[in-house]
């Protein structure tokens, strides 16, 4: 009988152990997800697909061929038709060769640079046999470097820019006559041609530089938004971990209860002088202890029930500020709600992970730069809810205040760094307030907040988030 019960206990132990192992694995996988976005790579990425280059080249071939045929047969101008068509056929043959291979793959930066450089040289040759700088279509030399600057690594884009500029300069020294009426020759004044050349070179440099800057900003913004999403996902996972633990406790309760019942039967069937009596007694006590632990775990507030999700606003702000409490800086929290007594405890807010992360980020920044005090003031009315975080530090650097909130903008007068490095207060330090500020601002704006920031007249900086009352989960008895 005892052997049978021992077998049952071992079997129950095995199943419970398997369940615990699986549960722990799920929790580990839940927590160890992609906590951060992909880091900004030290290398540079290539964004062009071979199919895109081939399509653009076919469009250029179509346009060039149509214009050459229009000049030859529509306007009946004298043009070296077969020479021009032969140059165009060079691009067509390149496309045909490339189309036979990997059309849908992305091309390496150097390969795309070679193809775009070929396009610039081909266009330069076509312009050379059709009038050179006398041909108004010289402006098309801007196209290849613009595509390269917007999509290729900088070093590869510069190659295409240099090749295109070289092709434009070469047209100033060599070109055939512009196709024109029989017996007539059209030639622009030399000064005008040089001015046209200068305009082309400036146009290449300006448009390529603009495209490069726009692409860089777009890449940075995409990476910053990815980091923001990763932070929000992490906060959500951590917030929901309590619910997962409660579910695990509930599932473990059944097999553990069975183990406890069998252990008690064993204990009742054994005499105190039996060598197995102490083991059975220990098994009963430890199984009861496990049940108590699971009961406490399932009853904890991390189960994210409706009551726990509603906490006093001051408690919520205190939990965000708690990690940054220090003897150097005092953090004061004030709740203002007209007509409500004991607003600190009667104004409730729903817990949201994005609010907790954003408030914590702004509070941390204020503490880092404050001299001695940080104030967190919340104002609740019937129409709006405002939260202001201010400090008595040196404030934001004026030269970047208008750009603050963009990703990778990091500059503020850092009093603490000044003390450490022996600087005087007011010397500029490029620390903090970069991607973290952007993430916090984006998280709040995602919930409908209007986020503003600036320097106070009495000194120090402030960040203010303003919601319409229906956009934020604030609960109050009277307003």
pLDDT greater at residue 306 or residue 113: 113
371-396, pLDDT tens digit by residue?
999 999 998 887 888 999 999 988 88
- Supply the pLDDT for residue 121: 94
- Supply the pLDDT for residue 41: 39
- Supply the pLDDT for residue 419: 37
Residue 249 has pLDDT above 50, yes or no: yes
303-324, pLDDT tens digit by residue?
444 445 678 888 888 888 988 8
Eight-class DSSP state of 230: H
- Supply the pLDDT for residue 373: 92
Residue 217 has pLDDT above 80, yes or no: no
Q: Which residues contact 178 (CB under 8 A, 6 or more apart)?
A: 130, 131, 132, 134, 135, 185, 186, 187
Q: Which residues of 423-457 are buried (b: 16+ CB within 10 A; e: fewer)?
A: eeeeebbeebbbbbbbbbbbbbeeeebebebebee
49-93, pLDDT tens digit by residue?
888 888 999 999 999 999 999 998 988 888 889 999 999 999 999
Residue 158 has pLDDT above 70, yes or no: yes
Residue 143 has pLDDT above 80, yes or no: yes
Task: Give the integer Cα–Cα distance in Å for 450 and 468.
Answer: 9
- Supply the pLDDT for residue 1: 44
- Supply the pLDDT for residue 103: 57
Judge contact between 407 and 439, C-beta under 8 A: no
475 beta partners: 348
Task: Give the integer Cα–Cα distance in Å for 479 and 474.
Answer: 10
- Supply the pLDDT for residue 165: 94
- Supply the pLDDT for residue 214: 83
| pLDDT band, very low/low/confident/very high, at 340 (cuts 50, 70, 90) | low
| pLDDT band, very low/low/confident/very high, at 343 (cuts 50, 70, 90) | low
Tokens 């120090």 found at: 460
Q: What is the mean pLDDT of residues 214-221?
A: 76
Average pLDDT along the chain: 76
Residue 163 has pLDDT above 50, yes or no: yes
Count the residues in the chain.
Answer: 479
Tokens found for residue 187:
């030639």
Residue 345 has pLDDT above 60, yes or no: yes
- Supply the pLDDT for residue 93: 93
Residue 125 has pLDDT above 90, yes or no: yes
89, 120, 264 from 81: Cα distances, Å: 12, 20, 103
């Amino acid at each position: 009988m005892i052997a049978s019960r021992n077998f049952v206990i071992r079997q129950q132990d095995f199943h419970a152990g398997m369940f615990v192992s699986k549960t722990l694995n799920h929790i580990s996988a839940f927590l160890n997800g992609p906590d951060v976005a992909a880091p900004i790579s030290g290398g540079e990425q290539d964004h062009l697909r071979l199919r895109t280059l081939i399509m653009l080249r076919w469009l250029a071939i179509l346009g060039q061929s149509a214009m050459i045929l229009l000049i030859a047969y529509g306007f009946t101008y004298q043009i070296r038709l077969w020479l021009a068509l032969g140059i165009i056929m060079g691009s067509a043959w390149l496309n045909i060769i490339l189309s036979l291979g990997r059309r849908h793959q992305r091309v390496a930066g150097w390969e795309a640079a070679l193809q775009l450089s070929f396009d610039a040289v081909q266009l330069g040759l076509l312009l050379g046999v059709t009038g050179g700088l006398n041909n108004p279509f010289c402006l098309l030399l801007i196209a290849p470097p613009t595509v390269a600057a917007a999509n290729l690594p900088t070093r590869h884009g510069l190659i295409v820019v240099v090749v295109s500029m070289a092709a434009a300069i070469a047209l100033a020294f060599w070109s055939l006559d512009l196709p024109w009426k029989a017996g007539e020759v059209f030639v622009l004044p030399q000064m005008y041609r040089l001015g046209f050349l200068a305009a082309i070179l400036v146009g290449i440099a300006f448009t390529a530089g603009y495209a490069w800057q726009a692409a860089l900003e777009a890449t940075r913004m995409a990476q910053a938004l990815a980091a923001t999403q990763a932070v929000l996902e992490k906060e959500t996972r951590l917030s929901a971990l309590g619910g997962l633990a409660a579910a695990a406790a509930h599932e473990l309760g059944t097999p553990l209860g069975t183990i406890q019942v069998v252990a008690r039967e064993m204990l009742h069937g054994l005499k105190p002088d039996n060598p197995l009596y102490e083991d059975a007694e220990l098994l009963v006590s430890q199984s009861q202890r496990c049940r108590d632990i699971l009961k406490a775990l399932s009853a904890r507030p991390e189960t994210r029930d409706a009551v726990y999700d509603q906490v006093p606003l001051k408690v919520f702000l205190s939990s965000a500020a708690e990690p940054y409490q220090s003897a150097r800086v005092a953090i004061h929290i004030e709740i203002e709600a007209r007509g409500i007594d004991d607003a600190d405890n009667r104004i409730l807010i729903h817990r949201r992970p994005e609010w907790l992360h954003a408030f914590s980020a702004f509070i941390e920044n204020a503490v880092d730069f404050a001299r001695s005090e940080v104030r967190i003031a919340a104002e609740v009315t019937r129409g709006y809810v405002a939260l202001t975080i201010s400090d008595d530090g040196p404030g934001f650097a004026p030269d970047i205040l208008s750009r603050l909130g963009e990703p990778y903008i990091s500059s503020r007068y850092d009093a603490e760094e000044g003390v450490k490095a022996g600087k005087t207060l007011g010397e500029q330090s490029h620390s903090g307030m970069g991607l973290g500020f952007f993430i916090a601002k984006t998280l709040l704006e995602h919930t409908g907040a209007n986020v503003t920031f600036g320097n106070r007249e009495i000194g120090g900086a402030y960040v203010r988030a303003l919601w319409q009352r229906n956009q934020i989960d604030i609960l109050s008895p009277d307003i």
